[in-house]
Structure 1
Amino acid sequence: MSDTFNGSFQDFLATAPEARFTDWLAARAEPYWTSACTHPFTAAIGDDTMPEAAYARYLIEDYTFVTDLASTLGYLVAKAPGMRSKSRLAGFLALLTSEENDYFLRSFKALGVLPENYETAAQGPVTRAFSDLLLTSAGKGSYEDGLTCLLCAEWCYLTWGLREAQKQRPATFYLAEWIDLHAVAGFQAFVDWIRSELDRLGPGLSAEHQQHLADLFRRMSVLEAAFFETAWTGQVPDLPDNP
């Protein structure tokens, strides 16, 4: 794992003049950022060694989260400063509510998860905390707040998705297709766009607001790693009080 960087964005630039604002966010989130991106759960997807019970737990939790992610995107569409930004976010929202929903339904059927189990499932504590942070940041916070939380979630999936796509394609369709959804050019372009938005806006914010964004990204990284761990083990891990 990478070493934690505790300094300000200006301190970071002093050590790496060409660094991006989002590079600093990731550096400030260590070691949790690396833990999320390299969790054994993500490797098992590409290795085709995922236990069915673990993946069923994961999909049920993720399915309960999709509605909150859609709401987050709706808040950001409303707060985006221009039509170009609104269009990018709205396009991702449309994808989320079409292709991904179809994937969930086919995967649940293959895993033997009954509709009454996933349609009425309550969010577990980690998923609830993850959703609350996203919704609060996007709904009550600034555009940059919500975008930072969204970036952490999507950039993590792009990172492990591109890595696992380098392996032999899994024979299990729901594992292969999950990699496909997160290792395609369109998804990478969307994540790159979020990074560019924050790289453009972040350096102009006050030092206090920059620190707040770093705290959000770090907390999201903690919860992302915990989300994978809960699905992988079936146990909710202890979360640090002040990560």
Structure 2
Amino acid sequence: MSFSDQLLNKYQNLFTKATTHQFTTELCQGTLPDNKLLLYLIQDLKFFQVGIRLTCKLASLCDDDESQIKLAKQIGFFANNENDYFQICIKDLSSKVALDQSILLPQVETYVAYLKNLLKSNNYSYGQLVTAHYLMEEVYLKWANDAIENNTIPSDIEWKHKEWIDLHSGEGFSNWVKFLKDEVDRVGDETCEQIFVDMCKLEFEFFDACYKHLE
């Protein structure tokens, strides 16, 4: 069993908790209320901006030329495709929902602070950082693929939901997650395990905070 699969198997309950939250279930069903989606996107954009910087650091630390090029290409994709979705969707939802866009939920603030520590500290290895990246992306691939495979996405689902699903599924994103998984298997060791656990918990708390804040 590969190192990444060992982590997924050992912490299956935590991973499942992060990938089966009601937030993503309703998003994939097209029933997630606009105010919850807008709140989530505002929070995720703050997270996204730190994530881009962290991916740049990951690329700078990579010890393999071919892998480094793949990381650099993915940074460009994030800066274009995914960032466009944030801009378009937040603008559209903001015309329908009144919400303070400066809000930062405590759970999200904790997550962002965790990522900033990974970014600014020189105490983390490439293996530890790639494990963090892998877990983040594997969570998104899992909930999106489960919805596709279980045929729970309505054929008439609105763009604001469908596009977010499409960005986290399909061949391109699946190949990106596989690349990260392969990198974890290539360089990961026991020092990566706690980061995997932390990230599972932080991903769940992110979804949970965004879903429950406006109830």
Q: Same fold (TM over 0.5)?
A: yes
Match of 2:128, as an amino acid?
D
Q: CA deviation at 1:60?
A: 0.4
Instruction: Output the amino acid matched with 2:24.
Output: T
**Cα separation, 1, equivalents of 2:20 and 2:154:** 18
State yes or no: 1:157 paired with 2:143: no
Q: Quick one: distance in 1 between partners of 2:28 and 2:165?
A: 7
Kindly indicate whether the alpha-carbon contact (under 8 Å) linking 1:29 and 1:218 is maintained by their aligned counterparts in 2: yes
Q: How does 1:1-243 map to 2 (within 5 A)?
A: 19-112=1-94, 117-118=100-101, 121=102, 123-139=104-120, 140=122, 141-165=124-148, 166=151, 167-202=153-188, 205=189, 210=190, 212-234=191-213
Aligned residues, how many?
A: 207
Residues 34-91 of structure 1, C-alpha deviations (whole Å, 9 max, x = no match): 1101111111111111011111110000011111001100110110002211111111
Backbone CA RMSD of aligned residues? 1.9
Residues 138 and 147 in structure 1, CA contact (< 8 A), matched pair in contact too:
no
1:122-173, Cα deviation, whole Å (9 max, x unpaired): 5332222222333433553000110111111100000111122343345221
- Flag the 1:224–1:169 CA change in 2: closer, same or farther, 3 A: farther
1:199 deviates by 1.1
Q: What corresponds to 1:14 in structure 2?
A: none
The TM-score with structure 1 as length reference comes to 0.79
Q: Give the aligned partner of residue 13 of structure 1.
A: none
Q: Which runs of 5+ in 1 are unaligned?
A: 1-18, 236-243
- 1:117 offset after TM fit, Å? 5.0
CA distance in 2, matches of 1:45, 1:126: 20
Structure 2: segments with no counterpart, 5+ residues: none
* Cα contact 1:138–1:145 (8 A) shared by 2: no
Contact 1:134 1:146 in 2 (8 A): no
For 2:183 and 2:135, the matched residues in 1 are separated by: 13
Which protein has greater RCO, CA pairs closer than 8 Å, 6+ apart? 2
Shift in Å at residue 224 of structure 1?
Answer: 0.3
Letter in 2 for 1:124: L
